[in-house]
Structure 1
Amino acid sequence: MKAAFEAVIQACNEIDMVAAKEGTSNFVMPHVKQAFINLAEAYLMEAKWCSEKYVPSYEEYKNNGVVSSFGPLQITSFLGPGNLATEEVFDWISTNPKIIEAVSLIGRLMDDVATHEDINEEHLNNPYDIPKSLLDYVVNWARVSEVVYENLQDRFTNGESLKHYIVVLCAKFDGDMDILCLFMD
């Protein structure tokens, strides 16, 4: 914790020096400091949930995840120095507008999916004694989502870009997917 705290102080000092040169320190630093406070509180909430073995509701997870995704802090600190640093911009950021919330939530969810640890643990340990084939089905939904939305593409809306994957599946399952394969001709 000491090393992390020192890194935060160093980052704030560097942002403050640049903002002072730009003449924006008086309104940049309060927002940056508040972003760090919000981030620390979100991390503490996640630590509390973990230590208490509490499973938050999706709404609790989402609300906390928007902050713990680090998105608001990144946006605030990147805007600090430069010609975008106006008091109006920082006031707008502090209202947590929907665009920042959405980007932060995407960052949180992508981070969670990328780690797969939470998914793998449940899948391998199977604490609910559910048939493995059902768990495979659930895990495959995460895999499908990854393929559909990888590389910042929306293959769900642009179904044509999924055609290659469907053709490969049809060939792999050799006729077991005849109905689906008819649509791909």
Structure 2
Amino acid sequence: MTDLPYFWALGVYFEPKYSNARMFLAKVFTVTVVIDDTYDAYGTYDELWSLACIDMIPKYMKPMYQALMGVYEEMEEILVKDGKEYQLSYAKESMKELIRNYMMEAKWAHEGYIPTTEEHLSVSYVSSGYIMLTTTFFVGMGDLVTQESFKWALSKPPLSLICSNVPMHVKMHVINLTQVLTIMYKGKDNYTEVGEELICHIKSLLIHGMSI
């Protein structure tokens, strides 16, 4: 359901001034779902290794790679106008780290290796995608997010509300991102198996809410 990534992005920030950032987050989210499924189920081990270079990857995988690059290039054009193109480097680095950890999980599966609890947590903490999504939704938020905010997100910090070196508006958007989980995954996987409850939420927000 193509509305889901945008619905998730709206849960992070609904304000009109964040429209570019919201669209960027939704598009990255959409492509990431495809990448995740490729590593989990569809790509062979050798094909997954070749994702590091587009000239080496199978023909059927190239549209996925090109779509992701296209999303970043599109956002870069917007950021250049505001003098904020530096933000994109942080988003790209977080995506690279996500894919590196996808690859580690694929390597374990390929080799039949059972990781220790500590190994599993260190990888799944990143492969869950939330570090990447947090860094991504910072992009396009203008002066409200600084380089320090990006560095903070990439450092894999715990979020307690008493972090005095992180602005409250930044922490609240991170919390918003997490709160969408209660709608998507409370009781069952509503993202994979979209039910009437989630459809009603989407209609309420995107259809009925706009007609008020």
Structure 1 residues 15 and 92 mapped into 2: Cα distance closer, same or farther (>3 Å)?
same
Structure 1 residues 93 and 80 mapped into 2: Cα distance closer, same or farther (>3 Å)?
same
Greater C-alpha Rg: 1
- Percent of paired sites with the same residue: 28
Q: Deviations over 1:22-76 (max 9, x none)?
A: 32112x1221111111011011001101111111112111111111111111111
**1:94-133 residue pairs with structure 2 within 5 A?**
94-99=154-159
- TM-score normalised to the size of structure 2? 0.45
Q: Secondary structure at the match of 2:88?
A: helix
Determine the C-alpha separation between the residues in 2 that align with 1:30 and 1:114: 35
For residue 61 of structure 1, what is the aligned residue in structure 2? 120
Structure 1 position 7, deviation (Å): 2.1
Structure 1 position 9, deviation (Å): 0.4
For residue 134 of structure 2, what is the aligned residue in structure 1? 75
Q: Secondary structure at the match of 2:159?
A: helix
Letter in 2 for 1:93: A
Which one of 96, 108, 111 corresponds to residue 37 of structure 1? 96
Contact 1:15 1:77 in 2 (8 A): no
Which has a greater percent of helix? Answer: 1
Q: Deviations over 1:124-175 (max 9, x none)?
A: xxxxxxxxxxxxxxxxxxxxxxxxxxxxxxxxxxxxxxxxxxxxxxxxxxxx
Name stretches of at least 5 consecutive residues in structure 1 with no aligned partner.
Answer: 116-185
Determine the C-alpha separation between the residues in 2 that align with 1:15 and 1:71: 20
For residue 49 of structure 1, what is the aligned residue in structure 2? 108
Structure showing greater relative contact order (alpha-carbon pairs closer than 8 Å, 6 or more residues apart): 2
Structure 1 residues 36 and 49 mapped into 2: Cα distance closer, same or farther (>3 Å)?
same
Q: CA RMSD for the aligned pairs?
A: 3.0
- TM-score normalised to the size of structure 1? 0.51
Determine the C-alpha separation between the residues in 1 that align with 2:75 and 2:117: 35
- Moved segments of 4+, more than 3 Å: 103-107
Letter in 1 for 2:156: N
* Matched residue count: 110
Structure 1 position 105, deviation (Å): 10
